[in-house]
Chains A and B, each alone.
Chain A
């Protein structure tokens, strides 16, 4: 690449600021997003007592039976069980807030161990625990900065292929830079793809102006035309009885021709004008929502069957599907996970580099001293907090009121404690202590799990091994951080 030397420096400068300004937000987004790749598996790990299995039609019918008695809402959204999950995940809204319950596929009753499971990381990834729409807008802004940082990083780079094979370990700034470059370059196509497609999933918030130019303020009509299978109708205002839902699911399965059932929405569930929409699962191909069949709720009659064929919309569905990764087989899923962690580590090394570079030049100014300590609280502290979420899952009593919320609260209190420790401690103590906390929390978690959970399943054992590996990595990092300053 031929770029003027001054221009290259400008790009390096822009790369640094674009990465720093929302660097911690990006770090949390990437870490949570990487975990969200295993959303169903995390759910299974966190609900070890719920082991029943049932085919999708029967499981959804059992779930609807329970919802009819316990969930008064204008709509129910049910995620049917499949090859990766045995429970029915049911969501219903009260205004902008919602309730999520994992329902037993045989009895329809909520799982004994109430938890938000992998859904927590999925939501944290793009909503950042902030109210709608602010969390999503912040995620959009951070993603736009990420894309800018990736592009400027590539232009600033002198020798992209040589750096790929360059690693000079040691104490210096060069070692951090080499690690940062390798993490960025090795999975660069993935980093650009995942950042771009992430923005695409939130296009109606991030870039609504094309919609505005053709639809004015009527974005509901745009969504209707984007997903024509998602029909709706107003309630009649008269009570009605939902026909048995299992035959509807079975009929949809037949029409999908071997494809699995994904989302089932029941609109106006207790009204005479009730509606059942059955969407094909996203696991048959890259593109999302390939087909939807709708049923009249009270009669069970098929109203419409929509299969997506428009090339432009297919392209959008592929971009969306590439981000969600629900098409991925286990090998591809692990590649997503590892690539996501590489991006996370790339952001972490970038944030560390910001400080290392400035520390080698001159004593740090107050602002950068704060950045240095917050780096510790976020980079080393967030993984400790995430571990606390799983600890709470295993140790909080089963009958506890608002148990799922208590798990999440444990995570945030732990995170707050980590941030306070990071700010209070000298960085040469803060790094090894917080990393060691991560090492202890993750390596001991599988032991607690084995004591509590009963017989292993492949997912439970796989989760334990992964947690143990993460713990060992943190322990090694803690040891190295301690030795460096000894």
Chain B
């Protein structure tokens, strides 16, 4: 990230990763909170709280990862795969009875 040349390629790379970090990071944190709420075998409000609180650490985790990934495309691919897995988990768990 400390490249000396600040050309359009560099700016595009940063913008792409920043978008993956902000949108992907929040989406994954949100899906994580929702999946944990659906999967934890606890009364409703008790199932909501643990995932919701942990999600605040998932968010910076994903942001950091999108900037460490070897390329911008890999960052986006990773974000989409994890978001897809979490969405599948939410879907399989189904709505509360």
Contacts and interface: CB of A to CB of B under 8 A. Distances in A.
Interface stretch (A8-16, A253-261, A461-469): A8-16
Interface string A193-227: 00010011001001101111111000000100110
Contacts of A152: 60, 64
Contact of B53 (A7, A200, A212, A214): A200
A188 interface: no
B49 A315 contact: yes
Nearest to B18: A17
Contact of A210 (B2, B37, B43, B59): B37
B37 A151 contact: no
A316 interface: yes
Contact of B49 (A11, A151, A215, A312): A312
Given A9-B2, A13-B2, A200 B56 contact: yes
B67 to A, nearest CB: 5
B33 A210 contact: yes
Contacts of A151: 60, 64
Q: Which of B34, B51, B60 has the most CB of A within 10 A?
A: B60
B14 to A, nearest CB: 9
B96 A211 contact: no
A265 B60 CA distance: 38
Interface residues of A, number: 34
Interface of A is mostly: helix
Q: Which of A151, A210, A316 has the most CB of B within 10 A?
A: A210
Contacts of B50: 312, 315
A152 B68 CA distance: 11
A148 interface: yes
A457 B37 CA distance: 51
A313 interface: yes
B55 interface: yes
A313 B49 contact: yes
22 contacts: A9-B2, A14-B63, A14-B64, A151-B60, A151-B64, A196-B56, A200-B53, A207-B30, A207-B33, A207-B52, A207-B55, A209-B31, A209-B55, A210-B49, A212-B34, A213-B35, A214-B44, A225-B43, A225-B45, A312-B46, A316-B49, A319-B53
